[in-house]
Amino acid sequence: MDLHAYFIFLTTTIIVCMSPGPAVITIASQGARHGAKNALFGVTGVASANVVYFLLSATGIASLIIASNLLFSVIKWVGVLYLLYLGLNAIFSKSGGLSVNKNTSSNANGIARFSQGFVVELANPKALLYFLALLPQFINIEQPVVLQLLIMGSSCLVVDLLSYSMYAYIGQKLSSGSVKSSIVNLINKSAGGFLLFAGLKMASVSANV
Protein backbone atom coordinates (compact mmCIF):
# COMPACT_ATOMS: atom_id res chain seq x y z
CA MET A 1 0.00 0.00 0.00
CA ASP A 2 1.52 3.31 -1.06
CA LEU A 3 0.99 6.58 0.80
CA HIS A 4 -1.57 7.88 -1.69
CA ALA A 5 -3.75 4.79 -1.32
CA TYR A 6 -3.40 4.93 2.47
CA PHE A 7 -4.41 8.60 2.50
CA ILE A 8 -7.57 7.81 0.52
CA PHE A 9 -8.38 4.92 2.86
CA LEU A 10 -7.75 6.99 5.99
CA THR A 11 -9.73 9.98 4.74
CA THR A 12 -12.69 7.83 3.76
CA THR A 13 -12.60 6.05 7.14
CA ILE A 14 -12.60 9.36 9.02
CA ILE A 15 -15.57 10.63 7.01
CA VAL A 16 -17.58 7.45 7.53
CA CYS A 17 -16.83 7.37 11.27
CA MET A 18 -17.99 10.96 11.63
CA SER A 19 -21.17 10.38 9.63
CA PRO A 20 -24.21 10.50 11.96
CA GLY A 21 -25.72 7.11 12.72
CA PRO A 22 -26.98 4.92 15.60
CA ALA A 23 -23.58 4.73 17.32
CA VAL A 24 -23.10 8.49 17.07
CA ILE A 25 -26.54 9.10 18.58
CA THR A 26 -25.78 6.65 21.40
CA ILE A 27 -22.41 8.18 22.27
CA ALA A 28 -23.70 11.75 22.03
CA SER A 29 -26.57 10.79 24.33
CA GLN A 30 -24.15 9.25 26.82
CA GLY A 31 -22.07 12.42 26.70
CA ALA A 32 -25.18 14.51 27.34
CA ARG A 33 -26.32 12.38 30.29
CA HIS A 34 -23.04 11.42 31.94
CA GLY A 35 -20.38 13.77 30.54
CA ALA A 36 -17.77 13.18 27.87
CA LYS A 37 -15.33 11.45 30.23
CA ASN A 38 -17.84 8.83 31.37
CA ALA A 39 -19.03 8.30 27.79
CA LEU A 40 -15.57 6.96 26.92
CA PHE A 41 -16.80 3.55 28.08
CA GLY A 42 -19.39 3.65 25.31
CA VAL A 43 -16.77 4.90 22.83
CA THR A 44 -14.61 1.88 23.66
CA GLY A 45 -17.61 -0.40 23.15
CA VAL A 46 -18.28 1.00 19.67
CA ALA A 47 -14.59 0.72 18.74
CA SER A 48 -14.48 -2.89 19.98
CA ALA A 49 -17.44 -3.84 17.80
CA ASN A 50 -15.71 -2.33 14.80
CA VAL A 51 -12.56 -4.34 15.60
CA VAL A 52 -14.70 -7.49 15.46
CA TYR A 53 -16.11 -6.45 12.09
CA PHE A 54 -12.65 -5.58 10.77
CA LEU A 55 -11.26 -9.00 11.73
CA LEU A 56 -14.23 -10.75 10.12
CA SER A 57 -13.85 -8.70 6.95
CA ALA A 58 -10.07 -9.20 6.80
CA THR A 59 -10.39 -12.99 6.65
CA GLY A 60 -9.53 -14.18 3.16
CA ILE A 61 -8.82 -10.70 1.81
CA ALA A 62 -5.88 -11.81 -0.38
CA SER A 63 -7.92 -14.49 -2.16
CA LEU A 64 -10.74 -12.00 -2.67
CA ILE A 65 -8.41 -9.51 -4.35
CA ILE A 66 -6.99 -11.99 -6.85
CA ALA A 67 -10.47 -13.16 -7.86
CA SER A 68 -12.09 -12.20 -11.16
CA ASN A 69 -12.32 -8.60 -12.36
CA LEU A 70 -16.10 -8.97 -12.36
CA LEU A 71 -16.15 -9.80 -8.64
CA PHE A 72 -13.86 -6.89 -7.85
CA SER A 73 -16.04 -4.52 -9.87
CA VAL A 74 -19.17 -5.69 -8.05
CA ILE A 75 -17.51 -5.12 -4.67
CA LYS A 76 -16.23 -1.69 -5.73
CA TRP A 77 -19.57 -0.43 -7.01
CA VAL A 78 -21.42 -1.73 -3.97
CA GLY A 79 -19.03 0.37 -1.89
CA VAL A 80 -19.50 3.41 -4.12
CA LEU A 81 -23.29 3.17 -4.00
CA TYR A 82 -23.24 2.65 -0.24
CA LEU A 83 -21.14 5.77 0.38
CA LEU A 84 -23.39 7.79 -1.93
CA TYR A 85 -26.41 6.52 -0.01
CA LEU A 86 -24.86 7.52 3.32
CA GLY A 87 -24.02 10.97 1.96
CA LEU A 88 -27.50 11.65 0.59
CA ASN A 89 -29.07 10.29 3.77
CA ALA A 90 -26.99 12.61 5.96
CA ILE A 91 -27.89 15.62 3.79
CA PHE A 92 -31.60 15.08 3.16
CA SER A 93 -32.96 12.68 5.77
CA LYS A 94 -34.00 13.98 9.17
CA SER A 95 -33.31 10.55 10.64
CA GLY A 96 -29.72 10.86 9.48
CA GLY A 97 -29.10 13.96 11.51
CA LEU A 98 -27.44 14.16 14.87
CA SER A 99 -29.88 14.52 17.74
CA VAL A 100 -29.61 13.98 21.47
CA ASN A 101 -32.41 12.65 23.65
CA LYS A 102 -31.50 13.49 27.21
CA ASN A 103 -34.41 11.44 28.53
CA THR A 104 -33.16 8.14 27.11
CA SER A 105 -32.75 5.69 29.97
CA SER A 106 -29.20 4.47 30.58
CA ASN A 107 -27.37 2.81 33.43
CA ALA A 108 -24.69 4.88 35.10
CA ASN A 109 -21.93 2.25 35.36
CA GLY A 110 -19.14 1.89 32.84
CA ILE A 111 -19.87 -1.73 31.94
CA ALA A 112 -23.44 -0.82 30.94
CA ARG A 113 -22.24 2.07 28.77
CA PHE A 114 -19.59 -0.14 27.14
CA SER A 115 -22.19 -2.83 26.46
CA GLN A 116 -24.61 -0.29 25.02
CA GLY A 117 -21.99 1.05 22.60
CA PHE A 118 -20.86 -2.44 21.63
CA VAL A 119 -24.35 -3.82 21.00
CA VAL A 120 -25.58 -0.75 19.09
CA GLU A 121 -22.61 -0.85 16.71
CA LEU A 122 -22.63 -4.64 16.35
CA ALA A 123 -26.34 -4.57 15.53
CA ASN A 124 -25.64 -2.10 12.72
CA PRO A 125 -23.75 -3.93 9.91
CA LYS A 126 -22.57 -0.67 8.37
CA ALA A 127 -18.98 -1.31 9.46
CA LEU A 128 -18.99 -4.87 8.11
CA LEU A 129 -20.32 -3.74 4.74
CA TYR A 130 -17.85 -0.84 4.73
CA PHE A 131 -14.82 -3.03 5.40
CA LEU A 132 -15.93 -5.73 2.97
CA ALA A 133 -16.40 -3.13 0.24
CA LEU A 134 -13.29 -1.08 0.96
CA LEU A 135 -10.44 -3.27 2.23
CA PRO A 136 -9.90 -5.31 -0.96
CA GLN A 137 -9.41 -2.15 -2.98
CA PHE A 138 -6.50 -0.91 -0.89
CA ILE A 139 -4.51 -4.13 -0.39
CA ASN A 140 -1.42 -4.55 -2.57
CA ILE A 141 -0.87 -8.31 -2.96
CA GLU A 142 2.76 -7.67 -3.96
CA GLN A 143 3.43 -6.44 -0.40
CA PRO A 144 2.89 -8.20 2.97
CA VAL A 145 -0.90 -8.43 3.33
CA VAL A 146 -0.90 -8.98 7.11
CA LEU A 147 1.21 -5.87 7.70
CA GLN A 148 -1.13 -3.78 5.54
CA LEU A 149 -4.16 -5.08 7.45
CA LEU A 150 -2.46 -4.29 10.76
CA ILE A 151 -1.78 -0.72 9.62
CA MET A 152 -5.33 -0.19 8.39
CA GLY A 153 -6.86 -1.92 11.42
CA SER A 154 -4.82 0.21 13.83
CA SER A 155 -5.74 3.35 11.90
CA CYS A 156 -9.44 2.47 12.06
CA LEU A 157 -9.21 1.89 15.81
CA VAL A 158 -7.54 5.28 16.41
CA VAL A 159 -10.07 7.05 14.17
CA ASP A 160 -12.95 5.37 16.01
CA LEU A 161 -11.68 6.39 19.43
CA LEU A 162 -11.01 10.00 18.41
CA SER A 163 -14.16 10.60 16.36
CA TYR A 164 -16.61 9.07 18.85
CA SER A 165 -14.87 10.84 21.72
CA MET A 166 -15.53 14.07 19.83
CA TYR A 167 -19.23 13.22 19.61
CA ALA A 168 -19.28 12.46 23.34
CA TYR A 169 -17.91 15.95 23.91
CA ILE A 170 -20.47 17.44 21.49
CA GLY A 171 -23.23 15.64 23.41
CA GLN A 172 -21.99 17.16 26.63
CA LYS A 173 -21.98 20.60 25.06
CA LEU A 174 -25.44 20.09 23.55
CA SER A 175 -26.86 19.23 26.98
CA SER A 176 -25.47 22.46 28.38
CA GLY A 177 -26.78 24.52 25.45
CA SER A 178 -23.24 25.47 24.34
CA VAL A 179 -23.73 24.24 20.77
CA LYS A 180 -26.46 25.68 18.56
CA SER A 181 -28.65 23.41 16.43
CA SER A 182 -27.38 25.21 13.33
CA ILE A 183 -23.87 23.95 14.09
CA VAL A 184 -25.12 20.38 14.40
CA ASN A 185 -26.96 20.78 11.08
CA LEU A 186 -23.76 22.06 9.47
CA ILE A 187 -21.92 18.96 10.72
CA ASN A 188 -24.58 16.74 9.14
CA LYS A 189 -24.48 18.54 5.79
CA SER A 190 -20.67 18.62 5.70
CA ALA A 191 -20.42 14.91 6.51
CA GLY A 192 -22.91 14.15 3.75
CA GLY A 193 -20.98 16.22 1.22
CA PHE A 194 -17.70 14.54 2.09
CA LEU A 195 -19.31 11.09 1.80
CA LEU A 196 -20.52 11.93 -1.69
CA PHE A 197 -17.00 13.06 -2.59
CA ALA A 198 -15.52 9.85 -1.12
CA GLY A 199 -17.96 7.74 -3.13
CA LEU A 200 -17.07 9.49 -6.38
CA LYS A 201 -13.37 9.19 -5.53
CA MET A 202 -13.76 5.46 -4.85
CA ALA A 203 -15.31 5.01 -8.30
CA SER A 204 -11.90 5.76 -9.82
CA VAL A 205 -10.03 3.19 -7.71
CA SER A 206 -8.64 0.21 -9.65
CA ALA A 207 -7.70 -3.29 -8.50
CA ASN A 208 -3.97 -2.52 -8.61
CA VAL A 209 -4.09 0.40 -6.11
State which residues of the chain have pLDDT below 50. 62, 66, 95, 102-107, 209
Residue 207 lies in a domain: no
- The predicted-structure confidence for 147-198, as pLDDT tens digits, reads as follows 888 999 999 999 999 999 998 998 888 767 665 666 666 766 776 777 687 6
Residue 14 lies in a domain: yes
Domain that holds residue 184: 3-202
Residue 15 lies in a domain: yes
Q: How many domains does the chain have?
A: 1
pLDDT at residue 47, as a whole number: 94
Whole-angstrom distance, CA of residue 44 vs CA of residue 51? 10
Q: Write the DSSP string, 36-74.
A: TTTTHHHHHHHHHHHHHHHHHHHTTHHHHHTS-HHHHHH
Residue 208 lies in a domain: no
pLDDT at residue 154, as a whole number: 93
Residue 209 lies in a domain: no
Whole-angstrom distance, CA of residue 100 vs CA of residue 123? 20
pLDDT at residue 4, as a whole number: 80
Residue 91 lies in a domain: yes
